[in-house]
Amino acid sequence: MDNHKIANELLKVAESLTAANVASEEGLYHKFTGKIDFEGNKGDVRNATFELEGNALFWKSGTWNYGTWDDGIWEGGVWNDGTWNGGIWEGGKWLNGTWDDGTWKDGWWDDGRFNYGTWEDGIWNDGTWDDGVWKDGKWLNGTWKDGDWLSKKPHPNER
């Protein structure tokens, strides 16, 4: 098959995916609005740029409206609501939802429940911290239940 035929076939696949508004195949999606259903990652997204590769989701930008994140790397954008099961958060804004496990490297946490994981840096605005490891960052408000506070800054329950 020549390169022209291959390109046409790939274009047909991309158009069918966009027409169905479901991202379920490996590849790079740019400014995509619809649903993601890939290797345990399932969500409703808006104006999103991301890549589906292997068994993970690599998020670049856009809005995650609701769903379940199973594994991958979040680089930026807005998380409206849903459940985070694992992966690495590198930056962006978390508005609400449940964090079950993973590593938070940086970004803004507005509200929600942090059940377990590692917080390396960022700003915690409000919400409930159930358990995990807090290494550094800025705690503004919220409820601290349990976990390891490794930061040299004052513990939330000591303010």
Domain count, the chain: 1
CA dist., res. 131 & res. 6, Å (int): 50
What confidence tens digit (pLDDT) does each residue in 8-43 have? 676 666 655 555 799 999 999 999 999 999 999 999
CA dist., res. 40 & res. 86, Å (int): 11
Q: Report the predicted TM-score, pTM, of the whole model to 2 decimal places.
A: 0.85
Name 29's bridge partners: 50
Query: In terms of residue numbers, what domain contains 152?
Result: 3-158
What confidence tens digit (pLDDT) does each residue in 114-158 have? 999 999 999 999 999 999 999 999 999 999 999 999 999 999 998
Give me the phi and psi of 91, to 5 degrees please. 175, 165
Are 66 and 49 in contact by the 8 Å Cβ rule? The answer is no
Who contacts 147 (Cβ-Cβ below 8 Å, separation ≥6)? 129, 130, 131, 132, 133, 134
Buried b (16+ CB within 10 A) or exposed e, 108-127: ebbbbbbbebbbbebebbeb
Name 93's bridge partners: 78, 108
Q: What pLDDT, on the 0 to 100 scale, is given for residue 37?
A: 96
